[in-house]
Structure 1
Amino acid sequence: MYELFVLGELMTGDKHGYMLQDVLKHSIGLVRKISSGTLYPLLSRLTDSGRIRLFVEEETPGGRTRKIYQITEAGRERFRELMEQPLEPGAEGETEFVFRFKMVYFQYVAKDVRLACLEQYLRILETNYGHVTDFESYLRNRKPEPEKQRVQLLRVFDHRKRLAETDIRWVTEEIERIRTQEQ
């Protein structure tokens, strides 16, 4: 996931490590953090593999040297591969993060790649919605004890269903919007 982010950000232009970390921190929100201990080894691996280049600025106004990263043709190819990889239901929230990152970089891939990503995400949303409605139906029909917990669980599932319905509607509209676009 972080490889996609780094390569995607470098598709937009050269960046230094601190800027990448700052943009990523704001992209994933308060729930997750990326540490320097995760980002900088990834940047080193991408540099070693030839997917990005490292340039060192002589000296910044603060007296420190700054490392600037730039994507290479091999990095662009890897970026396209990552964008074309199917979305798969995964760990809690992981699929959603990957989907969000992919959406940010849609302008760098072909229409068919964007549509495939949106359609995969729509199937995941619909599958999750089906699981929620199935379990909600079970709770309504079987009425397991304790009653207070069952009632609260039904409230939770109502919330999840409403969120899913909104997501499904938005993704469906986005698919239609992209289908009617020129390349």
Structure 2
Amino acid sequence: MYELFILGELMTGEKHGYMLQDVLKNSVGLGRKISSGTLYPLLSRMTDAGWIHLRVEEETKGGRTRKIYGITEAGTERFVELMAAPFDSDWDIETQYTFRFKMVYFQYVTKEIRMECLNQYMRLLMKNLKTVSDFEYYLLANKPEPEKQRVQLLRVFDHRKRLAETEIQWIKEEIERVQAQKN
């Protein structure tokens, strides 16, 4: 997921590590952060792999140097590969973040890749909705004890179903919008 984010951000132009860290922090929200201890080793591995290049720039304030990263041709190929890669079959927060990142960088890939991403995400949403609905049906049919917990679980599943239904509707509209676009 972080590789996709870094390569996607570098598709927009060169950036220094702190800027990448700041954009990521603001992209994923309050619940998720990437530490310098995670980001900079990843940038080093991506540089070693030839996906990004590093340019060292002298910084005038404080005499520190600044490392500026840019994407290479191999990095662009890797970016497209990651954008076209299928999601994991499990519905989890990583899948949701990956989808959000892919959406941000849709303008850098073909319509076919965008459509496959949206359709695959739709299938995951539908699978998730079915799982929630099946468990809700089980709770209603079998009425396990304690009742207070069952009632609250039903409230939680109602919330999850409504969120899924809203997201499914949005994805349907997005699929229609992308289908109407020219390549």
* TM-score bracket relative to the smaller structure: over 0.9
Please tell me whether residue 114 in structure 1 is matched to residue 86 in structure 2: no
C-alpha change, 1:60 and 1:125, in structure 2 (3 Å) is: farther
Structure 1 residue 180: Cα displacement? 0.8
Asked if 1 retains the 8 angstrom alpha-carbon contact of 2:143 and 2:150, the reply is yes
Query: What is the RMSD of the two structures over their aligned residues, measured on CA atoms?
Result: 1.0
Query: Partner of 1:78 in structure 2?
Result: 78
Letter in 2 for 1:113: I
**Distance between the aligned counterparts of 2:92 and 2:36, measured in 1?**
23
Structure 1 residue 30: Cα displacement? 1.3
Letter in 2 for 1:143: K
More moved, 89-98 vs 147-156: 89-98
Q: TM-score, normalised by structure 2?
A: 0.97
Q: TM-score, normalised by structure 1?
A: 0.97
Asked if 2 retains the 8 angstrom alpha-carbon contact of 1:60 and 1:66, the reply is no
Q: Secondary structure at the match of 2:88?
A: coil
C-alpha change, 1:42 and 1:29, in structure 2 (3 Å) is: same
Letter in 2 for 1:5: F
**Distance between the aligned counterparts of 1:70 and 1:91, measured in 2?**
32
Letter in 1 for 2:75: G
Q: Identity of counterpart residues, as a percentage?
A: 71
Asked if 1 retains the 8 angstrom alpha-carbon contact of 2:91 and 2:124, the reply is no
Structure 1 residue 20: Cα displacement? 0.3
More moved, 61-70 vs 73-82: 61-70
Letter in 1 for 2:113: V
Query: Partner of 1:46 in structure 2?
Result: 46
Q: Secondary structure at the match of 2:63?
A: coil
Query: Partner of 1:31 in structure 2?
Result: 31
Structure 1 residue 90: Cα displacement? 3.4
Asked if 1 retains the 8 angstrom alpha-carbon contact of 2:50 and 2:72, the reply is yes
C-alpha change, 1:120 and 1:60, in structure 2 (3 Å) is: farther
Structure 1 residues not aligned, in runs of 5+: none
**Distance between the aligned counterparts of 1:181 and 1:138, measured in 2?**
43
Structure 2 residues not aligned, in runs of 5+: none
Asked if 1 retains the 8 angstrom alpha-carbon contact of 2:16 and 2:69, the reply is yes
Q: Give per-residue Cα distances to partners, 1:31-61, cap 9 Å, x unaligned.
A: 1110001100010011111111100112233
**Distance between the aligned counterparts of 2:62 and 2:71, measured in 1?**
26
Q: How many residues align?
A: 183
Query: Partner of 2:177 in structure 1?
Result: 177
C-alpha change, 1:131 and 1:91, in structure 2 (3 Å) is: closer
Letter in 2 for 1:104: V
Asked if 2 retains the 8 angstrom alpha-carbon contact of 1:59 and 1:65, the reply is yes
**Distance between the aligned counterparts of 1:122 and 1:60, measured in 2?**
50
